[in-house]
């Protein structure tokens, strides 16, 4: 499925709202993860201090990114890993394709990597005859169904088990079942074969630890371990922003990541990779390659939304956002949905095509409240809205209306005159004090609400009368 057209945000949102089954699924996932997150934080000692530490760990790294990237690279190289740098998705894919060619890899397995979605890595590898098999269960189903993930943590929340059963029946030629245990067992058996046969394992990274040159992966299924253990070549594709300086920093982040994402203290597997197998190791990959991707992150770093690079991809903001709850992940149109997506997508992909995203928020602040690293997403959405207006990407009629509003609202006499006209115009349209249809831009209001007709006298007029 190709990238959704950015300009179609409204249409996608409308479609999602009308999809009753999606609405039910979104209710379930957000309610479940939301309540688990709350319980997990309630049981964390020193929760506020830990969140502060995690925030400091990530933002400190973002603030020293240049120095830290060089140190990180040096440590990895010292342990026998190869480090590659890619400015664009095409470059990252080309690097990984070349690694596959140079190492004679024909079969690849992948554990979950959102960055690889950003770069469309799978298509690039398929083009040279290396089809990477997704091994995260949800991503495996997405791959089989030629679909796209709709939530950072629970990628197939938009599919029922019947959907999954049908996908497996069609694509794997197994008898149809909607029994979840059996579906998982099928996936386990199929993927076990892939793990053992694969030459190359491709993973993302949740964190990179600068002091020790360590890639950290958190998973629940075990596919992350398989992918980073069984094949002879391990490739890590990660964004340049994912660093923390010390193991203590990592510890703070690990204390909040699983709690925020799924409500667990820790995910089942926390894998720390610092190099290829050492002489004498019983198993492990012969080669470790780390591909560091920029793809717009350095541009984000240069501006007012640099803070978003501290995101640890837990998904908590999605689960609490009333907008996400209603429109789901696909409506955001790109790799990262929800509040974090609304900030990061314009930064990574360009403001102009994605100018609708920063406005897809009522600025309620629930995201900032739950974010484990306390990212101020509303502040960043407002900054992006300002950038959109400054770049003249808003309709000219709106810009003119705002200019007229500012002019009038700084001149009380004119303001009062304009108000008199506006109120009279509204009152004429009212029946029993209510207006049921408004024209133009205001049509959206009366789509679902009536509009209270304004009073005959303003507060100021009544106040003056009272004073006499």
Partner 1 sequence: MAQRVQLFHTCLVNEIDPDVGMAVVRVLERIGFEVDVPAGQTCCGQPAFNAGFHDDARTVARHTIELLDRTSGPIVVPSGSCGDMLVHQYPHLFDGEPPMREKAARVAARCREFSQFVAETAPDAIGGTLEAAIAYHPSCHLLRGLGVREQPLAAIARVAGATSVPVREQEECCGFGGLFSVKNADISSAMLDRKLTAIEASGADRVVSCDLGCLMHIGGGLHRRGSRVRTQHLAQFLDEAQSR
Partner 2 sequence: MSDARARILARVRAAQRTGFVPIAQPFRAADTEAGLKACATDELLARFLRELTAIGVEPFVEPTAEGVRARVAQLVGDSAVLRWDADCLPYGAGDRLAHAADGASPRDVQAAAVFGVTGCDAAIAETGSLALITGRGKPRAASLLPPTHIAIVRPDQLRQTMGEFFRERAAELAVAANCTFVTGPSRTADIELTLTLGVHGPGRVVVIIGPEE
Residue 115's nearest CA partner among 274, 260, 273, 311 is 311
> Using the rule CB under 8 A, which residue among 106, 302, 402, 437 binds partner 1?
402
| Exposure string for 78-104, b = 16+ CB within 10 A, e = fewer | ebebebbebeebebbbebbbebbeebe
Distance CA 418, CA 412 (A): 10
Give the number of other Cβ atoms within 10 Å of residue 303's Cβ. 13
Applying CB under 8 A, among 229, 408, 427, 430 the residue interacting with partner 1 is 408
Q: How far is CA 37 from CA 40, 207, 315, in A?
A: 5, 21, 10
Whether residue 214 contacts residue 272, with contact meaning beta carbons closer than 8 Å, is answered with: yes
Q: Does 39 bind partner 1 (CB under 8 A)?
A: no
Q: How far is the CB of 244 from partner 2 (least distance, A)?
A: 11
Q: Does 192 bind partner 1 (CB under 8 A)?
A: no
Number of residues that bind partner 1 (CB under 8 A): 64
Handedness of CA 388, 389, 390, 395 (dihedral sign): positive
For residue 423, the minimal CB distance to partner 1 (Å) is: 6
8 A C-beta contact, residue 260 and residue 372: yes
Query: What is the closest distance, in whole angstroms, from the C-beta atom of residue 145 to partner 2 in the complex?
Result: 13
Q: What angle separates helix 396-409 from helix 412-428, to the nearest 10 degrees?
A: 120
Q: How far is the CB of 262 from partner 2 (least distance, A)?
A: 8
64 binds, among partner 1, partner 2, none (CB under 5 to 8 A by kind): partner 2
* Interface positions, 313-352, toward partner 1 (CB under 8 A): 322-323, 326-327
Please state, in angstroms and as integers, the Cα–Cα distance from residue 62 to each residue in 58, 132, 301, 411, 437, following that order: 6, 31, 8, 45, 50
Name the minimum Å distance from CB 139 to partner 2.
9
Least CB distance to partner 1 at residue 435 (A): 9
CA distances (Å), 414 to each of 404, 408, 419, 459, in order? Answer: 11, 6, 8, 17
Would you state the structure tokens that stand for residue 20, as one six-digit string? 């009753």
Closest separation in Å from C-beta 189 to partner 1: 42
Q: Which among partner 2, partner 1, none contacts residue 390 (Cβ within 5 to 8 A by kind)?
A: partner 1
Among 13, 273, 300, 301, binds partner 1 (CB under 8 A): 13
382 near partner 1, judged by CB under 8 A: yes
With respect to partner 1, which residue has the nearer C-beta, 273 or 435? 435
User: Residue 276 binds which entry of partner 1, partner 2, none, with Cβ cut-offs from 5 to 8 Å by kind?
Assistant: partner 2
Pick the closer one to partner 1 by CB: 184 or 417: 417
Under the binding rule (CB under 8 A), the answer on residue 270 touching partner 1 is no
| Contact indicator for 245, 68 with CB cutoff of 8 Å | yes
**Three-state secondary-structure class, residue 269:** strand
Q: Work out the number of other CB atoms within 10 angstroms of the CB of residue 188.
A: 13
Residues 427-466 that bind partner 1 (CB under 8 A): 434, 436, 441-445, 447-452, 454-455, 457-460, 462-463
Three-state DSSP class for 157? coil
* CB 355 to partner 2: min, Å: 21
Residues 6+ apart with CB under 8 A from 424: none
Distance CA 49, CA 241 (A): 23
Binding status of residue 390 toward partner 1 by CB under 8 A: yes
Binding partner of 459, given partner 2, partner 1, none, CB within 5-8 angstroms per partner class: partner 1
Positions in the binding site for partner 1 (CB under 8 A): 10, 13-14, 17, 322-323, 326-327, 358-366, 368-369, 382, 384-390, 394, 398-399, 402-403, 405-410, 412, 415, 419, 422-423, 434, 436, 441-445, 447-452, 454-455, 457-460, 462-463
């Amino acid at each position: 499925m190709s990238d959704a057209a950015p300009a179609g945000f409204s249409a996608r949102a409308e479609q999602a709202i009308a999809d009753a089954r999606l609405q039910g699924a979104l209710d379930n996932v957000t309610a479940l993860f939301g309540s688990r997150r709350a319980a997990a934080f309630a049981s964390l000692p020193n929760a506020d201090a830990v969140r502060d530490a995690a925030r400091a760990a990530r933002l400190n790294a973002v603030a020293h990114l240049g120095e830290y990237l060089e140190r990180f690279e040096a440590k990895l190289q010292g342990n026998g890993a190869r480090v590659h740098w890619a400015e664009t998705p095409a470059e990252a894919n080309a690097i990984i394709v070349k690694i596959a060619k140079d190492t004679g890899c024909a079969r690849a397995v992948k554990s979950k990597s959102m960055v690889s979605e950003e770069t469309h890595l799978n298509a690039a590898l398929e083009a040279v005859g290396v089809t990477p098999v997704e091994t995260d269960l949800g991503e495996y189903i997405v791959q089989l169904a030629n679909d796209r993930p709709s939530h950072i943590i629970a990628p197939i929340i938009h599919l029922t088990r019947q959907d999954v059963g049908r996908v497996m029946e069609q694509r794997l030629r197994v008898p149809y079942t909607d029994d979840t245990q059996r579906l998982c067992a099928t996936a386990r058996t199929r993927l076990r074969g892939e793990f053992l046969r694969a030459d190359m394992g491709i993973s993302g990274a949740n964190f990179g630890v600068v002091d020790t040159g360590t890639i950290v992966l958190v998973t629940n299924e075990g596919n992350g371990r398989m992918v980073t253990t069984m094949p002879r070549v391990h490739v890590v594709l990660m964004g340049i922003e994912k660093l923390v300086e010390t193991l203590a920093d990592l510890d703070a982040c690990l204390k909040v990541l699983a709690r925020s994402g799924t409500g667990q203290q820790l995910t089942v597997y926390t894998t720390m990779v610092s190099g290829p197998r050492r002489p004498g190791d019983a198993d492990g990959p012969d080669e470790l390659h780390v591909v560091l991707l920029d793809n717009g992150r350095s541009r984000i770093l240069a501006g007012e939304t640099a803070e978003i690079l501290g995101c640890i991809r837990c998904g908590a903001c999605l689960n609490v956002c009333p907008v996400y709850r209603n429109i789901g992940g696909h409506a955001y149109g790109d790799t990262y949905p929800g509040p974090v997506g609304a900030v990061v997508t314009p930064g990574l992909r360009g403001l102009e095509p994605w100018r609708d995203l920063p406005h897809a928020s009522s600025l309620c602040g629930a995201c900032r409240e739950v974010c484990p690293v306390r990212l101020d997403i509303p502040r960043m959405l407002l900054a992006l809205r300002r950038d959109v207006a400054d770049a003249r990407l808003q309709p000219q009629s709106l810009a003119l209306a705002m200019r007229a509003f500012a002019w009038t609202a700084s001149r009380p006499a004119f303001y009062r005159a304009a108000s008199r006209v506006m109120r009279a115009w509204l009152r004429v349209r009212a029946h029993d004090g209510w207006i049921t249809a408004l024209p133009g831009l205001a049509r959206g209001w009366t789509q679902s609400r009536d509009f209270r007709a304004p009073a005959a006298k303003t507060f100021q007029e009544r106040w003056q009368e009272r004073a006499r």
